[in-house]
Amino acid sequence: MASKVIHALYTDDDVLMDAVKQVRGEHYHIEEIYTPFPVHGLDKAMGLAPTRLAITSFMYGCVGLTVAITMMNFIMIEDWPQNIGGKPSFSYIENMPAFVPIMFELTVFFAAHLMVITFYMRSKLWPFKEAENPDVRTTDDHFLMEIDASHKDVDEMTSFLSNTGAVEIKVIDKQEDNH
């Protein structure tokens, strides 16, 4: 199923920010914004919810810490206790200071690696995925705002967007990806 979107190109990030505020003020739905560099405050201007990736990172770190404690207790205390330098390994608590670096490293390892996987899954960045950049100028010096126009008056939206400072406006029939 195809839907209509409007691509409005801007040449300045400050003009883009003002345009985003005006478009949101008119209650038009912004699908996506493509920029050549991160624009500070754009997520807030678009009304995007704060990310919850930090919460998942903490949970992944807790999983790593749990794996480290369980692994060290089993390997060094239960399965194969060793007398190293006259210090017997009869309990986990007695040897915990020696285990702190391992606990730290596995916490960081799990948090970092699982966060990368989570980020790629959340962003739908699969291996060999085709780029979804609608205009190659957005990788150099232009900013593109993609606005849903399937249930709106396209001529009215086009004239409104030209008043916001857009240097180029295109109406596109976009194919929806149902994968």
With 90 as the cut, is the pLDDT of residue 113 above it? Answer: yes
- Whether 20 and 156 have beta carbons less than 8 Å apart is answered as no
* Listed residue (109, 102, 50) closest to 71, CA to CA: 102
- Mean pLDDT, the chain, integer: 88
Highest-confidence segment of 20-24, 91-95, 150-154: 20-24
- Span 57-74, pLDDT tens digits: 999 999 999 999 999 999
- Amino acid in the structure at residue 6: I
Q: Residue 170 and residue 137: Cα distance in Å, rounded?
A: 14
Q: Residue 131: its pLDDT value, please?
A: 81
Q: What pTM, to 2 d.p., does this model score?
A: 0.70
Q: Residue 11 and residue 18: Cα distance in Å, rounded?
A: 13
- Going by pLDDT thresholds of 50, 70 and 90, the confidence category of residue 176 is low
Residues in the chain: 179
Place of tokens 């690696």: 113
- Span 34-57, pLDDT tens digits: 999 999 999 999 999 888 888 999
Q: Residue 146 and residue 171: Cα distance in Å, rounded?
A: 10
Top-tier CATH class for 2-50+133-175:
alpha beta
Residues of the chain with CATH 3.30.70: 2-50+133-175
- Mean pLDDT score, 4-9: 92
Range in 9-13, 19-23, 81-85, 96-100 the model is least confident about = 81-85
Which residues, 6 or more positions from 143, have their beta carbon under 8 angstroms from its beta carbon? 9, 10, 11, 12, 13, 16, 33, 34, 35, 36, 39
